[in-house]
A and B are shown apart, each in its own frame.
Chain A
Amino acid sequence: MKLVSMKNISKSFFGNYANKDVDFDLFSGEIHALLGENGAGKSTLMNILAGLYRADVGVGEILINGRPVILNSPTDALAAGVGMVHQHFSLVKNFTVAQNILLGTSSLENVFFKRNSEQIVEEFSNKCKISVNPGRFVWQLSVGEQEKVEILKLLYRNTKILILDEPTAVLTPQEIEELFITLKNLVKKDGVGVVLITHKMKEVMQIADRISVMRNGKMIKTLKRLEVADETTLAQLMMGQERASSTSPARPVIPSSFVSETAAIILEIKNITVKNDRNIVAVKDLNLTLQRGEILGIAGIAGNGQVELLEAIAGIRKVETFEKIVLDQKEISFLSIKERIKLGLRYIPADRHRDSIVGSLTVHDSVILKDYHTQSISKGPFLLHDQIKKITKQIFDEFKVVGPGENVSLGLYSGGNQQKVVMGRELRVNPQVILAHSPTRGLDLMTTSFIHQLFNEKRSQGVGVIVVSEDIDELIDISDRIVVISQGKITGILNKDEYDRVKIGLLMTSCHLEPPVI
């Protein structure tokens, strides 16, 4: 039986299509995997089905159980039997599992009388064969258990069409295994279907009945799992055909002096292990070397340890264990952030607004953020305001910053110009090593190529550059070497002549942890 049929769905944000003429359907009793790179439009499509977004008016229609529906809100969607578990859970931490499940659907007595609520949920969870402990508070639960509560919450609301947005991104292998068993049980019931949004091909091959691949907002292909020979097929569909030869500008040759000398290695990292914010190991025994005059690309799907790695090098994040982190023949692992900056280690974080600019203050304040204590900007305990103005002007000229004025807060500048200010700040001071995380994300073509050009310039001056990006094409364009990282480990190192989108894509998604033991 066909549960859902989405026909000709388009969705544009400010003129850019996130979905373009997409068809999608879901049968009862199946687990349907929706596969694609970041930004392929998977989540947008499912958000439309869940009533969070509205598809562009006039084209396309959504049928549920054969009847056309109009979904204006998540409430409408729930009424039609569609429920979605988002990456960020919507649970009340200080309520018990039972209260969370019953909240809003049952009388207040049932919610707040402990015995009533726990009994109802106990019975219901037994019926669904999803075991939870109704009396525990949500803050006591692991992420995997919270996921189960979310699912149960939707089932209790009579959801037949269950959408899970990247459920495995935050789960341990054991929890993933358990989740998959739960899902397989679930679809055995009559009239239930599951959509699994993911970009992990291994899991898709393990659990999905059918697979739909999206790329650039379009539906590329839908196939049965049994038809798929191996992951390479999927990777090819996901990444698209290999692009024509690189279009980046001709590169200057690196002066041989940098290469021949023994000090060619500018940054060496040996055996570092770093934990993420959730106190789980994110980077495991990783080794990396960076040459002078090299742009090293790090490819990987978001959340595989890239942030943690860069932050550990910059000194922002604690390193759990390490053998050495050597910058220009100097051990820096015990140095503070400030001391590392002084040695010429400049980090350009991905989240500008959070980590590298102060949007509410003027441009001047952000321009001197890392160097306000240096000789050229300060004298004794005081700042030299004239000097700061001069530097700002210099950055505006050299890095082609355009904005509403120097005394206007930086937050009112466009994203591209904010990034140029950051680039100016980091490159102005003759750095040794640049660590850049997604430096061109969300920027237009002009700014992107300008930033690439800046990296190339620095490279020819013998600076070592590490660029982390989720955009493989960008990395292929600018890097001299690409390191692929997955689950905190390096899964492949490719030299310039070995670049291959499909191969990189496979390395990005390869799991090399031992299969979970149950």
Chain B
Amino acid sequence: MNYRILNIDINFEKRNEQKAITSILVTLFAIFCSLIFAAIIIYFSGAAPLNTMLAMFEGAFGNFSQWKDLDFYNLSEVIVKTVPLTICALGISVAYKMRFWNIGAEGQFVAGALASSLIALQFDSTLGKIPLLTLMFVASFAFGAIVGFIPAILKIFRGVNEVVVSLMLNYIVILFTEYLAFGPLRDPKGFGFPGTREFAENSFLPTFGTTRMDYGIFIMILLAIILWIVFKYSKWGYELKILGENPRAGFCSGMNVSKNILWAMIISGGISALAGFTEIAGSSHRLQKGLAVGNGYSAIIVAWISRLNPFKILLWSFLFSVIIVGGDQLQITSKLPKAIALVIQGAILLFILAGDFFVTYKVRLNFLKLGSNLGANLKSNLGSKLGGVE
């Protein structure tokens, strides 16, 4: 590609190899740009940008006096938010690896929460801790897998667009779960509170000290490691990658496209649903309205920005949680809407995608000597005009 603006020749060349350092620099610059962008928005909302941002930072990480007392409450809140987001993004990344657009993580997450709750309601007084948690874990995975299975099977046999199906399933699953929470599963002693009773301790994941951080972190890290190995070293990961990049070539080489779609979605849905399990067993301990706060959708952005790399997903989920938790702080200190946090998230995505161009292309500027072509044109134009006057 070649463009010219005035006397500058701009040349875009595709890079042979994409260097890690370029991509890191571009990413940092994109984050910087989105912060500037956020500052401008904050400024026009009538608050002081720098102070607001510091408040956000404090909201997410705490301040000096808290650190001195070894109080990491804020950070632990960030981690609590990171776990479901990461697990959903990891789940999504399996389907995205083969370019199967699963938009249904939100619904799969809720399906997992529902499954865990049903098991807990039924068995929390009869089963011991470990069998109960195992059963909840397996049931969550199974429910999520079923929700993931539906768009896959429709795609395979009827060619139905998976985006539409997986998105619509979110509403079905979420509303059905809310119906259960409001109706059949409602706690009769709950004074009209829409939700189940609190489950017995048996169903709780252990937490770290007094914080709300639970052992879901281990599930998250373990999943990330497993997926990293699967993507990088396994035959199945290779198949997913090939079918994502060129399904026809994969098919012609003997890969079974339908089988792969099916398994990718079963596993994708199952993993996303595990986030529902950690949510129920780790922190909420009851099924109630308002469980779905958009993790499944944010996870799409996270998976995309991370280029489906499980470890990058961990990092980005953490960063996004920082912004969300910090955003909560905004509302308290600066009376700014919490949605500012979402604006920053969106801005980061856009800046990263824009910056991507510079990772794949090399830009060359070539300053031409003024007067060669441009000058000649001007002169001839001028000349003809003058001639006309005479």
Contact residues of A with B, CB < 8 Å?
A: 314, 316, 336-341, 347, 349, 354-361, 365, 368-370, 372-373, 378, 381-383, 385, 404-405, 407-408, 412
Contacts and interface: CB of A to CB of B under 8 A. Distances in A.
Interface in B20-70: none
Pick the most buried of B235, B239, B245, B252: most chain A CB atoms within 10 A of its CB. B252
Pick the most buried of A354, A360, A361, A405: most chain B CB atoms within 10 A of its CB. A361
B236 interface: yes
Interface of B: 14, 16-17, 233-236, 238-239, 241-242, 245-246, 248-256
A339 B253 CA distance: 10
A355 B252 contact: yes
Given A316-B251, A316-B252, A360-B245, 12 more contacts: A337-B253, A338-B256, A340-B254, A354-B246, A355-B252, A356-B252, A358-B250, A365-B238, A369-B242, A369-B250, A373-B235, A412-B16
A354 B248 contact: yes
Which DSSP category, helix, strand, loop or mixed, fits chain B's interface?
helix
B356 to A, nearest CB: 14
A383 B235 contact: yes
B179 to A, nearest CB: 39
Contact of B241 (A316, A347, A365, A404): A365
A381 B250 CA distance: 18
B16 A337 contact: no
Nearest to A364: B238
Contacts of B242: 358, 361, 365, 369
B233 A383 contact: yes
12 contacts: A316-B251, A338-B255, A355-B248, A356-B249, A370-B254, A372-B239, A378-B235, A381-B234, A382-B234, A385-B233, A405-B16, A407-B17
A361 B245 CA distance: 8
Nearest to A347: B252
A341 B254 contact: yes
A181 to B, nearest CB: 39
A127 B249 CA distance: 50
B312 to A, nearest CB: 19
Contacts of B253: 337, 341, 356, 369-370
Contacts of A347: 252
B267 to A, nearest CB: 14
Contacts of A316: 251-252
Pick the most buried of A358, A368, A373: most chain B CB atoms within 10 A of its CB. A358
Q: Kindly list the 10 A-B residue pairs having the minimum CB-CB distance in the complex, ordered from nearest.
A: A338-B254, A337-B254, A358-B246, A370-B253, A369-B253, A355-B252, A358-B245, A360-B245, A404-B16, A382-B233
Contacts of B241: 361, 365
A373 B238 CA distance: 10
Contacts of A357: 246, 249
Nearest to B252: A355
A355 B16 contact: no
A375 B233 CA distance: 15
Nearest to A352: B249
Nearest to B242: A358
A381 B229 CA distance: 11
A316 B251 CA distance: 8
B238 A372 contact: yes
Contacts of A378: 235
A336 B255 CA distance: 10
A369 B242 CA distance: 8
Contact of A408 (B17, B246, B251, B254): B17
